Structure 1
Amino acid sequence: MYDPVRPKERNNTTGSPNMIRLAKRWLQVCRDTHSCQPNDDKPPLLPTRVVDVGLKDDDPPRVHNAEPGQRHHYITLSYCWGDQRKIKFLKSLKENIVQHTRSLPATLHATLRDALNCTRALGFRYIWIDALCIIQDDTADVGREISQMGHIYRNSSLTIGAGNGSDVTSGLFVERDSFLFRPCFLTMRLNGQKHRAYIHRFPHQYLIPLETRLWVVQEQILSQRTLVFLSDHVEWRCRETHIPENIPSGFLSRRRGSNISDLQAVIGQSTRGEMRFPYDQWYTAVSALSARNATFLTDQLPAMAGVASLLHENFGLTDPAKYVAGLWKDDIIAGLIWLRRRAQPSQRTSGDGYIAPTWSWAANPVGPVSFPTAERWGHKPKWDLRQLEQMIVIQTINLEPENVADNPFGKVNPGGYIKITGKLREAITRPVTKEYRFESELRALYTGGNGSIAGVFDKANGTEDPQIVGLVSFDSLEEREALPKIECLPLLKFPSGYSSEESPCTMICLALKKLGEQYQRVGLIGLFRMHRIVEIRDGLDGEDVWDYTPDDIYWDDETWDGTPDRTISIF
C-alpha cells in the first residue's frame, strides 16, 4: 500500500514540488521493498557518457565522460525524437562534443530541458540521454553505445518516460486540474471488514505515443523502474507494481494487455517452465516490437540489439555469432517459420540501404510478425515443433554483422545467405476465390483477412484447372498482387498420427522465388489435407451448401519421395 503525499498545495502541474516528492517516495519504497534492481547496495558502472546536471540549480549541465571503472547512480530518459525532417534539435556530433563537455546550450527543446530539471529535483546528478550521450555522426560510437543499451537501461536507477507527446518539443510537465487526480475513495464493508475502494478517471488514451515507437519500447522493456509523465497525470511503473497518482495502492504490473509489462516479465523470467527458453522469449519480443514504428526502416535490428544482447547474456548463449539477422542458429528452423499478421505495402526505397536477408523477419518491415511454432504469453503454439519432422538440412549460414567487434546484434552487411538441402516443387499462385472456403482453424493459422493470402496450385498436373494444394501467406502485398510462380521448400512435416483436428496442414513450406542462381523468400506456405477444403454452392432455400472434396492429400509422401534433393542458397 502506498499512502499518497497529502498535498499542502495544489498539484496544478505534473512537475510540481508535491509531485516530485511523491515520485521520490515511490522510488524509495521500490528500493526498500521490491526485487527491482539496481538498489542502493552498489552503484553501477556509469555509461561511456552521461549528462551531469550539477549539484546546484545554477550549475550548467554538461556531457560527462565517465572515467574507467567510475560508479554512480544515474537515470535514463525514454522519449520520442519526432520527425527529424521537421524538428532540428540539439544532438552531440563530432563538431560539438568537446563544447558539450564544457556546457550544454540553453536552447534545449522542452523534453530534454524538463528531463534535466527533473533529474536534479529527484536528487540525481547524472542522466543518460541518447541524443546527447552518443556522438550521432560517428558510426563506430553509435554501434558501441547501441550495443550497450541493454546494460544502460537495465542498470539505471530510474527511467523517465516522456509520455506527453510525440516529439522533443512536447516537454514532460503539463498544467492540469489537480482535483481530478487527487485520490478519491469509498469505505466499504465486506464480510464484516472495512475495505477502501478507489474511484478514478479512466485514461482517455491507453496506448501513448511513447509506446508506439520501436526504440522506445525496447527502452521500456529493459528499464527496471519508469516514472511516466502523461498528458494529465504521472504514473509509476516497475517490475512489481503500477501506480497512477490517483490510485495510491497501485496494482500488480502483470496486466494482460500491457505489452511492456508482459515483455518485462518474459525477458526477466529465470525458470524455464514449458517454454523453449530462451527462443520463445525472443519470438514473443519480436512479435510485439515488430508492430511498432521505426524512425528508419534500417532500425529494425539495431533497435532490438539491447533485448537480443540481454537474452544472449542471461541464458548463456556464449557465442554472439549464433545470432543471425534477428534469428538464432540453434533454433533456425522455428525462426524461419514466421508470418506477417497484417501485411502492408512496402515502404522501402532505393535509398534505405540493406536491412537483412529475405529469410529474416527484419528484411522488409511492413507489419507485425508472428511465429506459429512459438509459445506466447503461456498459450500453446499453433504448431508444436517437437512433434514435427524436419524436412531440410541446414548446410551453412553465412552472414556478417556490420560491426562485429562492438555490436554483433546490430546491422548486418549485404550478401548474407543460408544454404539449405531439401526438396523443391514448382507451383503457381492464384487468388482464393469464392468457390473455396476454408475451415476457421486453417484461416486462423494464417491470421485470415490480412489481404496477403493466396492459393497454391500444382503446376505439374498439366491441366487448365490446376489442383489447389495449399495456402501461401505472402510477406508483402506487392508479392500477393504479383501472384508469382513460386518454389515450395518443405521445412516441417506433420506425422501421419498427428490429428487433423489439431492442424489441417500436412507440411509447412517456404515460398521462394528464383532470381538467377539464388532464391529469395516471398512467403510461408501451409500444405493441407484436401478434406479441409469445402466447395460452396447455392441451395434450394438460398442457403449455402458446403460440399467436402475427397479426403486425400494431393501432394502426398509418394510425390515428395520422387522429388530429388537439391542444395540452394536463399539470400
Structure 2
Amino acid sequence: MNVEEIDLCPFCSDLVKSTTDSLIPSSQCPHYPTYGLILSSSEKCTICRTITSLWGHIDSILNRHEISKKPIRGCRDEFSVKITTKVARRMPSGASWTLLEASLGSTHTGLTSISYFTLVSCLLGDPISSSAFWRSPTTTFDSKLLAIQSWMFDCESQNGHSKCRPVPFAPLRLLTVGLDGKPLRLVERDTTTIRTDYAALSYCWGNSLQLRTTKGTLTIFSKEVPSKLIPRTFADAIHIARALRIPYIWIDALCIVQDDEQEWQSEATHMSEIYRGSQLTITATESVDSLQGCFPPEKPGLHSAGLFFRTRPNGLDDRSSLVRIYRNDIRDSVVEDSVISTRGWTLQEQLLSPRLVFCMQPDMHWKCQCNYQTQSGLSFEPRMAPDRGGLFLDLNHRLDDLWYRSSWRRIIEGYSLREFTFSQDRVPAIAGMTRYFASTLEDVPILGLWVRSFARDLAWLRGGGRQQMSNTSGLPSWTWLACQGCVLYTIGSKYADYEVQVVEHLKLLNWDVQWQGTPYASPVELAQVKVEGPVREIEIRPFTEGSSHKPPYFQVFGEDLKPTVKTKFPWRCAGQFDTGDASEATIYLCLLLFSETKSSESNYTSEIFLILEPVEIHSTVKYKRIGMARIWGGPPTFNAAKTISMVLV
C-alpha cells in the first residue's frame, strides 16, 4: 500500500478517531483556541495545515488593519478558533464522512472567517480499505471503469430505481462505439425507431479547435471517424460506453453538423429529450477542453494526492485510519468546485440526465434519481445530496407547483453565474430546460418567465459579479436573460412560504415574441408584453450609507434617515437598478407586481415593484424596465384599485 504514514496533533487525531468510532451530532470539537496556536501546529500536522490554508487571506487582512500595529504574532493570538462537526455519518460501505466548519473570529476587529472542509476515512483492515480507491493516492482508468460498471448494474437491477430509467428517444445522429467490430462512424436515426440505447458526453469545448462534423466531413464520418483524430476526452467517453456495452454515444460536436444553422437550431430545442433519453451521461467534470481526457491530472491543492495519508496506530485496537481531506463539502465538488459547472451549456445536461457519472481525480461521483455515491464509498439519499442550482430535480414525479416554480428561479440564479464562449447562446443553452418545465408546469414560457407566474417571475434583481453578456440585441428589458451579470430572486418570498400571503396585482394581458428562426434557438426579432397594474410616481433618492448595502437602500417620501434606539435601519425601501447604480434623486414611474403580508403581522405590508422608464417607439409610448425594488411598512403605498395598462419592451 503506497500511502504515507503521518503524525497528527492530539486534537486532529481525535477528529479522525471520532469519525471512525461513532456517529457524531453537530457539536463543537476541542481544538487549539487561537489562530496563532493552530498555525504553529500546522508545521507538523497535516489537518491543521489544511485548516489554516482555508484562512490564507487573514495575514494580509491583518497587515492592513489597525490591530496590525501590534506584532503580527500577537494579532494572530487574538483570533479565536472553533472547529464544529456539522454532519458525521458512517456509510454501509465502511467509509466515514465528516463535514466540519472552521471558524476564525476576533472580538477586537469584528473580522470573521468561516470555511468548511470534509474528512473521508476508513479503518485499515476493513473490507473497503482493500478497494482500489483506498490503496493508493490515485486510481487507474480500469479501476474507475469497474466502479462505473458496478453503479450502472445496481441502478439498472434494483426495483426502487424505476424512475432512473431513460425516457425513450432516438437522436437524429449518433456515434457508434465499435461493439459491432466495425470502425467508429456516425449513423442517422432510423425513422422506424423510437428508442435507441446510447450514452451522452457532457464536456467543455474550451478554446482549442476540436474535432467536429461539418457539411464537408459528414459523408466521411458516416463511413469512419478516424481514430487518430478523436481527442482524448471523446476517446475516454467512448471507452466507458463500450465497457458498459452501450452501442452508441451522443457527442454534440460530432452528432450535430456544426455549420448547418437550421439543424443546429432544431437540435438545440431537443436537448431535453436527448439528455433525458441517455442511458448514462458521462461528465468530464475537470477537463477544460476535449484534449485533456475525462480524468486529467490533478492540480495541486486540497484534492491532491498529498492530502491522502495513513495515521499511526491509535487506540486499544492499535488500528490505523486512511484519510482523505477535501475543501468545502464534498457533495458540492461537482456543482461549485468543478470546471464544467462554470459553463452555461452544461447546466441542463446535469439537470435532465437520469444518470450521470462525474469523472474526476481522485474520486468519481455517481448521481441517479435515487442515489448519490462516490468512489470513496459514500452514499447519500437525494435529500442529502447536493442541490445547488436544483441538481436533484425529480424528473418523474409530479410535485407541488410552487416547488417547481421555486426550483426554476433557483436554477436561474445558478445559470446566470455561468459563462459562455458566445453570449448569444444564453437563450438556446436553456431551451431544453424550458421545454421540460413547460411540460411539467403545463405553462407557457415567455423568454425565461411564465404566463401563470409572470408577476413573480418579473421580480428578479441584478446581483454582483462580472458582466457576462456583450450581446443582448433583441432581448427585452423585462427578462432576466438581458441582465448583465448574475440574477437573484431575493426580494419577495424566494421559495414556497405558506405563512406569507401573496397578492399579485399585475395582470399579463397579452404578449408577442417573434424569433428570427427556431424559437429559443435563434435570435429574438421582437418581444413585448402588455400588462395591467397599479402605478405611482416615486422619487428615489440614493444616499451614502444606503449605497453600502446589497441591494442598496433608497430614501423615499422624504423619510427620516437617522437611526433610532429601536430602529437601527430606519429606511424602508431597497432595490437595484438593472445597469449601474442611481447617482441622484429622480422621480420614476413604478409598477406594482405583488404584495405580501404575514398572518402574524397583519399591519405589515411589503410591496414589490418595477422601476420604469418611458421610451417612444413609432410614435407610441412604451416602457422599459430599469430596476426593481421593495417597500415595506404600514399601509400600502400603491392604490391597488387604480390600474393602467401599458406595454413593456
TM-score, normalised via structure 2 length: 0.66
- Residues 1:29 and 2:157 aligned together: no
- Residues 1:289 and 2:415 aligned together: yes
Residue 610 of structure 2 is aligned with which of 510, 520, 532? 510
- Measured after TM superposition, the shift of residue 372 of structure 1 is 4.3
- Measured after TM superposition, the shift of residue 43 of structure 1 is 8.9
Aligned in 2, Cα 1:403/1:346: closer, same or farther, shift over 3 Å? same
Aligned in 2, Cα 1:297/1:256: closer, same or farther, shift over 3 Å? same
Residue 449 of structure 1 is aligned with which of 519, 533, 549? 549
Structure-2 residue corresponding to 1:164: 286
* Contact map agreement 2:199 2:241 (CA 8 A) in 1: yes
- The one-letter amino acid of 2:192's match is G
- Residues 1:208 and 2:338 aligned together: yes
- The one-letter amino acid of 1:156's match is S
Structure-2 residue corresponding to 1:520: 624
Structure-1 residue corresponding to 2:197: 73
Cα distance in 2, alignment partners of residues 253 and 259 from structure 1? 12
- Measured after TM superposition, the shift of residue 329 of structure 1 is 0.9
Residue 178 of structure 2 is aligned with which of 30, 49, 54? 54
Residue by residue, what CA displacement relative to the aligned partner does 1:78-131 show, whole Å, maximum 9, x if unpaired?
A: 111123xxx211222222222221222322332122222222233222111111
* Contact map agreement 1:14 1:229 (CA 8 A) in 2: no
Aligned in 2, Cα 1:37/1:396: closer, same or farther, shift over 3 Å? same
Q: How does 1:373-392 map to 2 (within 5 A)?
A: 373=492, 376=495, 380=497, 384=500, 387-392=501-506
- Residues 1:568 and 2:646 aligned together: yes
Cα distance in 2, alignment partners of residues 145 and 197 from structure 1? 54
- The one-letter amino acid of 2:513's match is L
Structure-2 residue corresponding to 1:222: 352
Aligned in 2, Cα 1:326/1:303: closer, same or farther, shift over 3 Å? same
Cα distance in 1, alignment partners of residues 596 and 296 from structure 2? 57
- Measured after TM superposition, the shift of residue 21 of structure 1 is 1.9
* Contact map agreement 1:51 1:133 (CA 8 A) in 2: yes
The SS at the match of 1:489 is strand
- Measured after TM superposition, the shift of residue 302 of structure 1 is 1.6
- Residues 1:307 and 2:433 aligned together: yes
- Measured after TM superposition, the shift of residue 390 of structure 1 is 3.6
Cα distance in 2, alignment partners of residues 360 and 202 from structure 1? 42
Cα distance in 1, alignment partners of residues 605 and 134 from structure 2? 65
* Contact map agreement 1:43 1:73 (CA 8 A) in 2: no
Structure-2 residue corresponding to 1:366: 485
The SS at the match of 1:291 is coil
- Measured after TM superposition, the shift of residue 28 of structure 1 is 0.2
- Measured after TM superposition, the shift of residue 488 of structure 1 is 0.9
- The one-letter amino acid of 2:438's match is H
Aligned in 2, Cα 1:198/1:308: closer, same or farther, shift over 3 Å? farther
- The one-letter amino acid of 2:388's match is N
Cα distance in 1, alignment partners of residues 474 and 446 from structure 2? 12
Structure-2 residue corresponding to 1:265: 393
The SS at the match of 2:391 is helix
- Measured after TM superposition, the shift of residue 139 of structure 1 is 2.1
Structure-2 residue corresponding to 1:337: 459
- Measured after TM superposition, the shift of residue 222 of structure 1 is 0.9
- The one-letter amino acid of 1:65's match is E
Kindly tell me the number of residue pairs found equivalent between the two proteins: 493
Residue 236 of structure 1 is aligned with which of 366, 373, 383? 366
- The one-letter amino acid of 1:472's match is G
**5+ residue gaps, structure 2:** 1-91, 94-126, 299-303, 559-569
Residue 133 of structure 1 is aligned with which of 243, 255, 260? 255
Aligned in 2, Cα 1:127/1:38: closer, same or farther, shift over 3 Å? farther
Aligned in 2, Cα 1:453/1:7: closer, same or farther, shift over 3 Å? closer
Cα distance in 1, alignment partners of residues 257 and 168 from structure 2? 22
- The one-letter amino acid of 1:363's match is A
Residue 524 of structure 2 is aligned with which of 387, 401, 413? 413
Residue 206 of structure 2 is aligned with which of 68, 82, 92? 82
Aligned in 2, Cα 1:280/1:19: closer, same or farther, shift over 3 Å? closer
C-alpha RMSD over aligned residues: 4.0
Residue by residue, what CA displacement relative to the aligned partner does 1:491-510 show, whole Å, maximum 9, x if unpaired?
A: 22457x866589663x2211
Structure-1 residue corresponding to 2:384: 255
- Measured after TM superposition, the shift of residue 215 of structure 1 is 1.4
Structure-2 residue corresponding to 1:279: 405
Cα distance in 2, alignment partners of residues 98 and 139 from structure 1? 18
Aligned in 2, Cα 1:54/1:556: closer, same or farther, shift over 3 Å? closer
- Measured after TM superposition, the shift of residue 145 of structure 1 is 1.2
Aligned in 2, Cα 1:270/1:347: closer, same or farther, shift over 3 Å? closer
Structure-1 residue corresponding to 2:216: 95
Cα distance in 2, alignment partners of residues 13 and 231 from structure 1? 7
Cα distance in 1, alignment partners of residues 141 and 345 from structure 2? 29
Aligned in 2, Cα 1:426/1:147: closer, same or farther, shift over 3 Å? same
The SS at the match of 2:206 is coil
* Contact map agreement 1:456 1:472 (CA 8 A) in 2: no
Q: How does 1:534-553 map to 2 (within 5 A)?
A: none
- The one-letter amino acid of 1:254's match is R
Residue 474 of structure 1 is aligned with which of 541, 561, 577? 577
* Contact map agreement 2:287 2:340 (CA 8 A) in 1: yes
Aligned in 2, Cα 1:336/1:101: closer, same or farther, shift over 3 Å? same
Residue 589 of structure 2 is aligned with which of 461, 473, 487? 487
Aligned in 2, Cα 1:179/1:202: closer, same or farther, shift over 3 Å? closer
**5+ residue gaps, structure 1:** 190-195, 438-447, 460-466, 530-551
